[in-house]
Copies of this chain bind each other. A is one copy, B any other.
Amino acid sequence: MPMELTDLAERAGEWLSGTGPESDIVISCRIRLARNLRGFTFLTRASDEEKKLLEQSISGRLAEIDFGKKTTYLPLHETDMLERLFLVERHLISKELAAAESPRGVMLGDNESLAIMVNEEDHLRIQAMRSGLELSALWNEINGYDQAIERKLDYAFSSQFGYLTSCPTNVGTGMRVSVMMHLPVLVMTKQIEKVFQAMNKIGLAVRGLYGERTRGLGDFYQISNQVTLGKDEETIVHDLAEVIPKVMEYERKWRESLLKENRAQLEDAVYRAQGLLSAARVISSEETMNLLSSIRMGVNLGLITGIPIAKVNELFIQTQPAHLQIIEGRALQPEERDQLRARFIRQRLDLKAD
């Protein structure tokens, strides 16, 4: 295993630090750009030989670029599945890139604020992430990376369609902007469905911490644009930047009203989660996320003191299966993992066992 991964496991990316604006509700924001090279076959049709060539030449060019921060390139075809799942859990590569077999890789920027996937669905997928809600600053940042890359690599671009992508749903800006929100009280008060409906109406998608399948786990909702064509980047960013505060206010309004009118129910959820996490001897990843969500809510509402929010944010990631195994330094059977997870959480949250 590359030394870097074992290191990473014990730290968290900046995007989990809980230091950005509105980070009681907005965990992080992320922008990714899909780019392809002019004159090269799209990956859906490329031969293994072409993929190999693409991976080598792209990674070579990326290495020449000064991104203003320390970067490391990981050839993923040389890593094992556990390492790749670890990167998926950290949101540094996609599940698809982890599962693929052909030559491919990822360039990681220091502090996990930048990840450039090579040979995913498109030749390049450039991603920038940061803590809290800071979409315009993030757009400026990733736009800078994109321009730096464009100086070294010739992008497939049509004056009519914009950036050309492997899948037509990404054509145009090739951009997806997404905001990861923690909405425990909207879930508890059953208001969350209204958020979904409102988002759908204005063409935004709602996913979970790890995509569609995990929607709602840990009360996390990732809100992102669906349309990449017919709007420029600034407009896409601006539209999302207008909507997110409304969802935040909705969550805050319900928090206040619940604190006022049904404090016992809130306290019950928070303290039960704390009680269970200090008591459990066996715990699944799914249950962990749901209990950590109540802990996170408790910290934000002032019902729990002495636990930094960054620690709770990190635990959502560190208690995932691949993370536990990387931290423990060996492969673990699921039952063993569930026991280790229970112990790990107690230690990290400094909870006394009953």
Contacts and interface: CB of A to CB of B under 8 A. Distances in A.
A280 interface: yes
Contact of A279 (B274, B281, B339, B353): B274
A349 to B, nearest CB: 11
B281 A354 contact: no
Interface stretch (A211-219, A263-271, A321-329): A263-271
A113 B280 CA distance: 40
Interface of A is mostly: helix
A264 B280 contact: no
A81 interface: no
A187 interface: no
A283 to B, nearest CB: 8
A208 interface: no
A258 to B, nearest CB: 13
B354 A275 contact: yes
Contacts of A281: 264, 267-268, 271-272
A109 to B, nearest CB: 40
Contacts of A342: 268
B282 A275 contact: no
Contact of A271 (B264, B272, B354): B354
Nearest to A278: B275
Contacts of A271: 279-281, 353-354
A276 interface: yes
Nearest to A276: B275
Nearest to A335: B264
A335 B275 CA distance: 21
Contacts of A279: 271-276
A276 B276 contact: yes
A278 B268 CA distance: 11
Contacts of A276: 272, 275-276, 279
B282 A265 contact: yes
A208 to B, nearest CB: 26
Q: Could you say which of A268, A274, A276 has the most chain B C-beta atoms within 10 Å of its C-beta?
A: A268
> Which 4 pairs between the two chains have the least Cβ-Cβ distance?
A275-B279, A275-B275, A268-B281, A271-B279
Given A264-B281, A264-B339, A273-B279, 14 more contacts: A268-B282, A271-B279, A271-B280, A271-B353, A272-B276, A272-B279, A272-B280, A272-B281, A275-B276, A275-B279, A275-B280, A275-B354, A276-B279, A278-B354
